[in-house]
Structure 1
Amino acid sequence: MRDTSCTSDPGGRHLSGMRAASRSSRLSLVIALSASALLGVVGPAHAAVAKDPLPVDIPDYQAALNAVKSIDVRNAVCRFLSTPLPTGDIGGGSVQALPEPAEPCQNLPAFTIKDPVARNEITPAFVAGTAKPLPTEAVKLTQLVSSLSATVNGRTATVMLAPTQGGGWHLAAIRDGDTEAVYAGKAALGTLVFTEPQIRGWYQLKLTTVEPLNDEARQGLGGQSSAPLGDYQKLVKARYADKLPGSAYDTNGYASGYGSAHTATDDPSSTLLLTGGSSAALALAGGAVFLRHRRRPNTG
């Protein structure tokens, strides 16, 4: 007689377990992909997603990469590092043209130029008090900055890129030291780093809370460890509202950090100049006026 009673089926349980494991694996994959996409949306300026390794909130970033990796920019850095730093007041007009050797990098130690990161500043409207204390209105991308992979003859340098009219990026200046690139590179997941140029302060913005990153910024917050963005706006308005473009402060040649402060020529063949002073920097001829225009020393 055939036995019709129910019996256990190890093979059936094994198949059922495999199906459950497959469903669990697919679910894990969906969760992982969703998390990756979310990181791409909320990450910092230099965060990357799997499909797109370029920062999503820096326009034409590939052009910026091409610029800092180009032979022309590398040669300009080598010319800058090969030239002794001038001395004297930057406002006194200490400007010299850099030599143009056939092989600018020939006698220098090997180095590379790191990928550029965003250099953000407070906006004129935020300073004037006409913009709301929101991250999107308080801070804007003004330049990209790159540091070197190693010191060269005891010196460091920062490559500064400015947006080109019509799209892309071009060399705006090379500055002695790497302060700006170091602080700009401190942006982390969910945070934004920006500078207050007049006092050389660097801050980190977490949602709508401002935190200082250096001593100048701590002084700028009155010694506080943090402040709401609205309170910080009141502080910078009191400091700079009368120093915006068009003000007497600006027309007398003391403006730094707003409007025309980052103007530079789009002509890549312009003469490279080295300006003197404690913030010695190399600039294209069209940007030399800006660098001589900055009368306050810059530790970067």
Structure 2
Amino acid sequence: MRHTEMSGKRAASRFSRLSIVIALSASALLSVVGPAHAAPARDPLPADIPDYQAALNAVKSTDVRNAVCRFLRTPVPAGAGGPVQTLPDTAEPCQGLPVFTIKDPLARNEVTPGFVAGTAKPLPTEAIKLTGLVSALSTSVNGRNATVMLAPTQGGGWHLAAIRDGDSDAAYAGKAAVGTFVFTEPQIRGWYQLKLTTVEPLNDEARQGLGGQASVSLSDYQKLVKARYADKLPGSPYDNDGYSSGYGSPAKTDDTSSSTLLLVGGSSAALTVAGAAAVLFRRRRHTTTG
């Protein structure tokens, strides 16, 4: 009888330890996969967005919101090549405007100079890089939409680089999903989705860039952009004459405390912080003179 009792206690002890192990294993599994209703992972990127909290702080800041309000209060100049407007500073730029918020930033990816030059392999990690962030407004304001564009700050973090009329950049950037990348070809305002090694167009400009094809391999896309831009990369005679391919390394500028905001017109009208104006003007010049 005593032997039976001891056996029963040992069995109970083993069962108890097994239950604890199962419970701990289940807890560890849940901590990895999360509950069924957990928020989806952030859009995939060649590299994760650095200093993402700084980007969130920037788009939620009073300074950026006021800049958006000043942009929305100013009529967009008609036609390209018109005079650049300096927006006057006002004490309460958002007063009287409908309520809006600025959405969380999304990655704005471009193809790399090495990919365009043909020296990088046609692989997602070598073909695409993060060049900036874009944030759309939660709603249109007096019939207008706008996109906040952030640039990396020297030493880390993000700052306001421009505010562009419309919300197409953020709309396309938001199409990234698990297992895919979204990137832009800025010269033609083309947006593409990369699925493994297949490039698909997301807008009419991109479809034209692929010659009307529904999709091409990443290798074939590399041949297309190499033919279009390899002789226009930074440092080339084309670039030195005052044009820009748009595929140079993004300039990391110091965060400016200046409230000077400039507004340029054209098909991609944008407000820009004075420190970033040179970059925007060079890209516009290439776009408009081709």
Distance 2:262 2:15 in 1: 72
Q: Which amino acid aligns with 1:171?
A: L
2:71 alignment partner, SS class: helix
Distance 1:99 1:178 in 2: 24
- Aligned residue in 1 for 2:84: 95
Instruction: Write out per-residue CA displacement over residues 122-177 of structure 1, whole angstroms, 9 at most, x where no aligned residue.
Output: 01110000111111111010000000001001000000000001111000000000
Distance 1:232 1:43 in 2: 28
- Aligned residue in 2 for 1:52: none
Q: Which amino acid aligns with 1:80?
A: F
* Equivalent residue in structure 2 for 1:68, among 59, 70, 81: 59
C-alpha change, 1:43 and 1:204, in structure 2 (3 Å) is: farther
Distance 1:220 1:153 in 2: 34
How many residue pairs match? The answer is: 279
* Equivalent residue in structure 1 for 2:139, among 138, 142, 150: 150
Instruction: Write out per-residue CA displacement over residues 96-132 of structure 1, whole angstroms, 9 at most, x where no aligned residue.
Output: 1002121000010000000101000001110000111
> What displacement does 1:188 show?
0.9
* Equivalent residue in structure 2 for 1:58, among 49, 54, 66: 49
- Aligned residue in 2 for 1:116: 105
Structure 1 contact 271–285 (Cα < 8 Å) conserved? yes
> What displacement does 1:228 show?
1.9
C-alpha change, 1:80 and 1:46, in structure 2 (3 Å) is: farther
User: What stretches of structure 2 of length at least 5 have no aligned partner?
Assistant: 5-11, 35-39
- Aligned residue in 1 for 2:9: none
Structure 1 contact 198–257 (Cα < 8 Å) conserved? yes
Structure 1 contact 263–287 (Cα < 8 Å) conserved? no
- Aligned residue in 2 for 1:3: none
> What displacement does 1:61 show?
0.8
Matched, 1:104 2:98: no
Matched, 1:295 2:285: yes
Structure 1 contact 273–282 (Cα < 8 Å) conserved? yes
2:192 alignment partner, SS class: strand
- Aligned residue in 1 for 2:272: 283
Q: Which amino acid aligns with 2:29?
A: I
Distance 2:100 2:169 in 1: 19
1:211 alignment partner, SS class: strand
> What displacement does 1:280 show?
1.0
Structure 1 contact 44–190 (Cα < 8 Å) conserved? no
> What displacement does 1:214 show?
1.4
Structure 1 contact 45–58 (Cα < 8 Å) conserved? no
> What displacement does 1:276 show?
1.6
Matched, 1:180 2:178: no
Distance 1:274 1:65 in 2: 24
User: What stretches of structure 1 of length at least 5 have no aligned partner?
Assistant: 1-5, 7-13, 37-41, 48-55
- Aligned residue in 1 for 2:37: none
TM-score (structure 2 length as normaliser): 0.84
Q: Which amino acid aligns with 2:285?
A: R
> What displacement does 1:281 show?
0.5
> What displacement does 1:262 show?
6.0
- Aligned residue in 1 for 2:27: 29
* RMSD (CA atoms): 3.1
- Aligned residue in 1 for 2:75: 84
Q: Which amino acid aligns with 1:277?
A: G
Matched, 1:191 2:180: yes
> What displacement does 1:251 show?
3.1
C-alpha change, 1:21 and 1:209, in structure 2 (3 Å) is: farther
2:187 alignment partner, SS class: helix
Identity of aligned residues (%): 70
Q: Which amino acid aligns with 2:183?
A: F
Matched, 1:203 2:192: yes
Structure 1 contact 191–205 (Cα < 8 Å) conserved? yes
> What displacement does 1:16 show?
10
Matched, 1:251 2:240: yes
C-alpha change, 1:209 and 1:241, in structure 2 (3 Å) is: same
Structure 1 contact 114–147 (Cα < 8 Å) conserved? yes
C-alpha change, 1:227 and 1:43, in structure 2 (3 Å) is: farther
